[in-house]
Amino acid sequence: MSDKQKDKFFQRQFKRSWLTQGLNGVPLYLSTAAESGHRLKKYLGFNYSPFLFYYKDNYAEGSYDAADFAKLWRIIRSRIRRDKQYLDKIRARYDAVFSHYDSWFQRIKDAQPASQSDAWLHKNLQEAGRCLVDSMNLAHIIEIISVGLEADLKRRLAERYQAVKINKILASLSNIYQPSFINLEEKELFKIKLARSSARSHLLARHLEKYYWFNTNYTGSGPADSQYFLRRLKNLTAAKKTAAPAGKAELAWLAKDREIAAIIKMISLTAAWQDERKVNIFKAIYHAEIMIREFSRRTKIPVADLRYLAVKEILDFTRIKNFTKLRIDLAARRRGCFQWMGVGREIIAAGMLFRKLEKNYHSIRSRVDSVPLSIEGTTANSGRVVGPVVVCKSIKDLINVRPGDVLVTSMTRPEYLSGIKKAAALITDEGGITCHAAIVSRELGLPCIIGTRIATKALQTGDLVEVNANHGVIKLLKNNK
């Protein structure tokens, strides 16, 4: 496809209706996740429509076709109604697929990549690509389920209760979740801090063995060695006490409604599955990085550029030498690119074409007709806070967050935790009641409103807002302009 054809193609794509999530990420670790959405057809008989990605300086915006969520949720919901164990079966199948990589992880840890042949590297780099795809695999239906369940629950509750009561119910339901891996890791690390100094070295070694993948995100992996955990341990303080998990008595009045009870059960299952999936993704990225670093050493292509490989390039390549031809393309992609992914097809625009397209992309995607005086969303954790806004669109923006600030972001990731801990409240564009922001805000006792859709576009750093998470409303008190 020529640049002229690509130009027309992407201009058409920008005008479609998308659900967009902003995060720090690179094509190698996001396009492989998108590929899993297309491979659902093999297992479940349906799949996602095309995906659209925007990348620049390790920041990404990934977009789902907006029509997919309602369409695919109707399919999944009908199957759940026919088979109450449907989700449990899908999750078990996902676990079975990913468990095959346990032995591969161990082989990679035991190997000395620099001493292996090109054939070994070729084989294991492709295996890393398959592992990245399978770390999402069937679990890619979590996004559909989360959005669908929340809509169904709100609709059911709206038949009985006012909006304020519904928000309180949704916030209380977050207490049915199991502790996140982030919370569990921090608690275990804090126990090491309280242990005898003579025992800490041994305990840290065991902690490293369990959480070797912890310093990983969608841009790659950092060194999670004993020094990394030791630095974190020194600055660690006791976690805030949060509300105890809701018990049977507390939720009994909701459980009388069979439909609501079934939804609550699925929310709990989905939240736990989502956390398990995140751990598997980070393990996959960690081991892929081992292969990428060795690949970089042999080809002299920078690791940062290799992370801009597309999913087809990593899965289908035949010879390592062929990658030298991509050296210039990868460097250009790193400076900025668009990627469209359909079933079995990828289109990438970089270089001068990217710079031309980028202006139109931002003018369409960032448009808010007027600055609203109030923004509504879903209560993830209740509370009321007044504070200045800090809009964070990437990890590097977190340095601007100060105690008492209101952190506003498209969606949160585990690597955002340092900023979230300093914030007085949290607001997101995206996310449902099983999302990372909802779970972490409950664990930290932080007022949180999710799913506003427009907060990062309507609010600016320096605005003064009132976050009334009891009602799910953000009021603009003073505009920074």
pLDDT in tens, 436-469: 788 888 888 899 998 888 888 888 899 999 999 8
360-366 LR contacts (CB < 8 Å, sep 24+)? 360/11, 360/14, 361/10, 361/14, 361/54, 364/14, 364/15, 365/14, 365/20, 365/61, 366/457
Helix axes 258-299, 181-194, angle to 10 degrees: 70
Per-residue buried b or exposed e for 98-108, using 16+ beta carbons within 10 Å of the residue's own CB: beebeeebeeb
CA torsion angle 339 70 35 310 (round to 10): 10
Strand partners of residue 379? 449
Q: What average pLDDT does this structure show over 310-315?
A: 88
* Domain residue ranges in the chain: 3-140+288-365, 374-478
Share of the chain above pLDDT 90, in %: 50
CATH architecture of 374-478: 3-Layer(bba) Sandwich (3.50)
What's the pLDDT tens digit per position in 153-173?
A: 888 888 877 766 777 777 666
pLDDT on residue 304? 95
> What residues contact 74, with CB distance under 8 A and at least 6 apart?
none
- The number of CA neighbours under 13 Å toward the Cβ of 247 is 2
Residue among 215, 208, 223 at smallest CA distance from 182 = 215
Residue 166 Cα distances to 119, 122, 330, angstroms = 58, 54, 49
Q: What are phi and psi of 451, to 5 degrees?
A: 65, 35
The band of 79, judged by pLDDT with boundaries at 50, 70 and 90, is very high
What's the pLDDT tens digit per position in 52-67?
A: 999 998 889 899 998 9
Residue 123 Cα distances to 146, 182, 267, 284, 302, angstroms = 36, 33, 39, 16, 21
pLDDT on residue 363? 76
What's the pLDDT tens digit per position in 108-125?
A: 988 999 999 999 999 999
The band of 412, judged by pLDDT with boundaries at 50, 70 and 90, is confident
Q: What are phi and psi of 85, to 5 degrees?
A: -95, 10
Question: Is pLDDT of 89 > 90?
Answer: yes
Residues 205 and 195: their CA atoms lie apart, in Å, by 14
Element (H, E) at 390: strand 384-392
pLDDT on residue 371? 55
What's the pLDDT tens digit per position in 359-408?
A: 889 876 655 545 567 888 888 888 899 999 999 887 788 889 999 999 99
Structure tokens at 406: 């209101």
Question: Is pLDDT of 140 > 60?
Answer: yes
> What residues contact 261, with CB distance under 8 A and at least 6 apart?
254, 255
Question: Is pLDDT of 329 > 60?
Answer: yes
pLDDT on residue 173? 66
Q: Which of helix, strand or coil describes residue 388?
A: strand
pLDDT on residue 255? 64
pLDDT on residue 247? 44
For the beta carbon of residue 457, count every other beta carbon within 10 angstroms.
Answer: 16
Place of tokens 């270089």: 351
Residues 28 and 123: their CA atoms lie apart, in Å, by 17
pLDDT on residue 245? 44
CA dihedral over 398, 403, 406, 411, signed as positive or negative: positive
